[in-house]
Structure 1
């Protein structure tokens, strides 16, 4: 870890532990709430997928006919092979193999082709040391290092091995934000040749690209996948679309595998929420008690300072009265030798100091009489009649 990284880590730790850990406790509380919300969403998805029927594509029509009276469209789990279809010709079995995409790298037929190009950067401080971690973080957020392009064609799912005699279900990809079960067919790192501008970037400590990672993923025709979502009829043809409350839509996993995955995530999120919530409550409670005690100490200190200031004012007024006129040498304070002796120490009883000096002696860590060196408890002002 470089010196700048250590400095940033130290700054973050100091910020997290500020206010006796209140910031860290608040951050843990936020993470705990997020974990609880994710646990709730995951447990809801687990309950929905567990209750969703796992039926064959040929049985979808009868299932949808049975649920026509229901207001909500059912959530089902189906498994079938991917086959392209023509959007212009409509959902006819004659057009199921038309309009398939062809991968440029592998030559496979596919219905989805995703091409991603990622620039790999190298960064160092340079000769002039002008690079700072904060600017590097901001620069990385501004600089686009990855570009992704995706091509898709409409496709359907059929029962494997039964085409073209089998029924099919249309896959609705509109507004899809779920991950796709893509297969990587091309993965290559291309080096980038240095240029005079690259040398100038390195000289001043700026990051510069050293390689380009080119990757292509496809959803090939004929691949067996599962689809879990809302199923309905579109012009008399079964259609399945994604459900926002479910983390899956198209996946390689079976229903049993999805249930196991969600059950495991539910347990992890449940115990993580309990642990993080307990830590946040403990840290926030500790920070509250510490800051409350500090506030009481500051308040008591201010009261004492105001009391001392008032006593100092009264003492200064008394001192001004005592300084008027001539004071015999035998009645001068043994400490300041300026004011008249007015205070007697307890328990020794020596009256050798003025009130101002007696108060100063009382405020010492171990107050002692300046004559007999006995530890004193307090002093009392003596008034002459």
Structure 2
């Protein structure tokens, strides 16, 4: 492969490694900051105390509220049972096996993926309170981790029915349909969750929504606060390791590029010095021949035809390629050969050139 092509591939690979390192570094910083913020935030329970605090002290820019999901106005009903909830995600996924480069791999194609939301609030786990003290949850679709916390209320896989002939044809063409998987997940009413975000009063009603500071993460989760902190710390450690490894790989690739370029520069410098010496030697030899006048019988044109460089067909053959021993090039063409240099006659690698002298 051409040296320039290799260097370009290495350069692109190094750039990709640095980009990956930067992305995971940002993720590491984000998860670390989220873990730090969540660890230090106050935890409130929906109720009169929270309402009084907000009335006196104003909004809570970033706080946690722990409560139980309660529907507002209406609920969502499962299509496959008696479950009721406030968020429902339905998916229909086609499972296939595809042959790629001789290997079979599992492929999933999402045919349908819908999520429905209805207004809901958080209430305390025990006791009854007025609707005025409920914490209404705003924009749950923007919350992190919420979809990971949904409970599966339906999961059915329907195998694809086909004849042996059809299966044989599908395998011949490299794509076999295995079946359809239909799932339904819900955030059920009565589920205990923690919300982390901005808590404020609006027309006397307590509400929770995304923080005004975009560096803070809006979270709805069934985890306890300590578990949530450990979760983000674990993610932070993983992203840190990936960022460091990517940076090391990128640095290694850059070091290889620098080494290759330095080596190529040094080789070019050695070649330049070598051919300067060859030209100087050839010039001295030509001057001695002119002064001694050997008295050849052949014409200059005949000499040029017999001894012309096989590349430029103009200059006299002046150097011998070692180790193959072919005498076919002038000094200019020998120097101009691309690296690594090869004999134009036999294509053997050339270790060095030596000048020749015509008597």
Shared fold by TM > 0.5? yes
Are 2:23 and 1:40 aligned? no
Q: CA deviation at 1:239?
A: 0.8
Range moving further from structure 2, 112-121 or 267-276: 267-276
Larger radius of gyration between Structure 1 and Structure 2: 1
Q: 1:168 is matched with which residue?
A: 134
Q: CA deviation at 1:43?
A: 2.0
Q: 2:54 is matched with which residue?
A: 64
Contact 2:197 2:217 in 1 (8 A): no
Aligned length: 303
Output the TM-score relative to the length of structure 2.
0.69
| Distance in 2, Cα, partners of 1:30 & 1:174 | 32
Q: 2:194 is matched with which residue?
A: 226
| Distance in 2, Cα, partners of 1:268 & 1:178 | 18
Q: CA deviation at 1:298?
A: 3.1
| Distance in 1, Cα, partners of 2:319 & 2:355 | 11
| Distance in 2, Cα, partners of 1:380 & 1:215 | 83
Q: 1:94 is matched with which residue?
A: none
Please state whether the residue corresponding to 2:173 is helix, strand or coil: coil
Q: 5+ unaligned residues in a row in structure 1: which ranges?
A: 1-15, 87-98, 125-130, 328-337, 340-355, 368-377
Q: 1:156 is matched with which residue?
A: 121
| Distance in 2, Cα, partners of 1:76 & 1:197 | 62
Please state whether the residue corresponding to 1:34 is helix, strand or coil: helix
Q: CA RMSD in A?
A: 4.3
Aligned pairs for 1:330-345 within 5 A = none
Contact 2:93 2:109 in 1 (8 A): no
Q: CA deviation at 1:247?
A: 4.8
Q: 1:109 is matched with which residue?
A: 84
Q: CA deviation at 1:207?
A: 2.1
| Distance in 1, Cα, partners of 2:16 & 2:160 | 41
Contact 2:87 2:187 in 1 (8 A): yes
Structure 2 CA distance for partners of 1:245 and 1:105, relative to 1, 3 Å: farther
Q: CA deviation at 1:39?
A: 1.7
| Distance in 2, Cα, partners of 1:50 & 1:100 | 33
Q: 5+ unaligned residues in a row in structure 2: which ranges?
A: 299-305, 308-315, 326-353
Structure 2 CA distance for partners of 1:201 and 1:114, relative to 1, 3 Å: farther
| Distance in 2, Cα, partners of 1:218 & 1:267 | 31
| Distance in 2, Cα, partners of 1:379 & 1:36 | 58
Equivalent of 1:264 in 221, 226, 234? 234
Q: 1:79 is matched with which residue?
A: 66
Q: CA deviation at 1:195?
A: 7.2
| Distance in 1, Cα, partners of 2:225 & 2:143 | 20
Output the TM-score relative to the length of structure 1.
0.64
| Higher strand proportion (structure 1 or 2) | 2
Contact 1:113 1:216 in 2 (8 A): yes
